[in-house]
Structure 1
Amino acid sequence: MSDSLSLSALFSSSFLSATILPGNSEVVFATLLTTVNTAPWLLLVVAITGNTLGGLTNVIIGRIAPVSKHHPRLELAMKWLQRYGSSALLLSWLPVMGDLLCLLAGWLRLPWWSVTFFMLLGKSLRYLVVMMITLKSISFFS
């Protein structure tokens, strides 16, 4: 697979994974780390960028679309955001709950800079952990 195709696939997967659509970005990221000759740091940057932009898309949707408050997970996400503010977006990488946090951050009109910062930080830490585990397992089995 060419570098540009690999990077495009990773970006698409990480973007979709940050929305309600399935993307399996961790699997794609780990697979590319082990199978392509692209620099790991470049794969990391592409995955983080795609996933953060996908999360910010949810924030935009939350700003323009009405939010229904009749879901138990939605209530929990709302409590987290009311208690911790934008810093709750450190958990924006969580399945389902992370999507809700992003949507509600938009709905609550939390400040863009802090939403982006905490979302970027949380998603970066997640991909760094995946990268470290993947690279450690490669060296272990080599």
Structure 2
Amino acid sequence: MTDTASLLTLFVAAFGAATILPFQSEIVFVALQLRGDVSLTALLIVASIGNTLGSCVNYAMGMGIERFRHRRWFPASEAQLDRAQRWYAKYGVWSLLLSWAPFGDAITVVAGIMRTRFWLFLSLVAIAKTGRYVILAWLTARTGLGAD
């Protein structure tokens, strides 16, 4: 696989993993890191940008989704949505630093519903997403996997 194809694959996986789609970018990231034919800096940049942009999709969905909250097909009950909004109001925008976690997709959607300022959303999510990949790269290098 060429560097471009590798990075495109990583971008798609990272983008998808940040949305409600069932993607796992960590597996792709670690595999490419272990292969060693693409620079770690490029992997970190592409994964971070892809994952952050995927969260922006969630934010945009949150901005528009509340108008559908009374429809039968709406994926969350009134009580679930109210609870999520109360939780976000209580813990605030700093909860976006947990956007890397498995439940982080929900936080990014709620941030859109709560009309968090986009620049603040983007900054906190980018820090969280990039931090996760930096730690993952460090752990992968530390384990010595792939070393001859």
SS at match of 1:65: helix
Q: Which residue in the other structure is 1:94 paired with? A: 101
Q: Which residue in the other structure is 1:39 paired with? A: 39
Tell me if structure 2 keeps the 8 A contact 1:55–1:99.
yes
RMSD over aligned Cα, in angstroms?
Answer: 2.1
* Separation in structure 2 between the aligned mates of residue 126 and residue 88 of structure 1, nearest angstrom: 15
Q: Which residue in the other structure is 2:131 paired with? A: 125
* Separation in structure 1 between the aligned mates of residue 52 and residue 63 of structure 2, nearest angstrom: 17
The TM-score with structure 2 as length reference comes to 0.86
Q: Which residue in the other structure is 1:113 paired with? A: 119
How many residue pairs are counted as aligned between the two chains? 141
- Residues 72 and 36 from structure 1, CA distance in 2 versus in 1: closer, same or farther, beyond 3 angstroms? farther
How far residue 84 of structure 1 moved from its aligned partner, in angstroms, is 2.7
Percent identity over paired residues: 35
SS at match of 1:20: coil
* Separation in structure 2 between the aligned mates of residue 28 and residue 51 of structure 1, nearest angstrom: 13
Q: Which residue in the other structure is 1:20 paired with? A: 20
- Residues 122 and 52 from structure 1, CA distance in 2 versus in 1: closer, same or farther, beyond 3 angstroms? same
Superposed CA deviations along residues 32-54 of structure 1, whole A, max 9, x for unmatched, are 00014111011000000000000
Which structure's CA Rg is the greater one?
2
Unmatched segments (≥5 aa) in structure 2: none
- Residues 134 and 118 from structure 1, CA distance in 2 versus in 1: closer, same or farther, beyond 3 angstroms? same
Unmatched segments (≥5 aa) in structure 1: none
How far residue 78 of structure 1 moved from its aligned partner, in angstroms, is 3.0
How far residue 70 of structure 1 moved from its aligned partner, in angstroms, is 2.4
Tell me if structure 2 keeps the 8 A contact 1:80–1:88.
no
When structure 1 is superposed on structure 2, of 62-71 and 114-123 the one drifting more is: 62-71
- Residues 72 and 132 from structure 1, CA distance in 2 versus in 1: closer, same or farther, beyond 3 angstroms? farther
Q: Which residue in the other structure is 1:50 paired with? A: 50
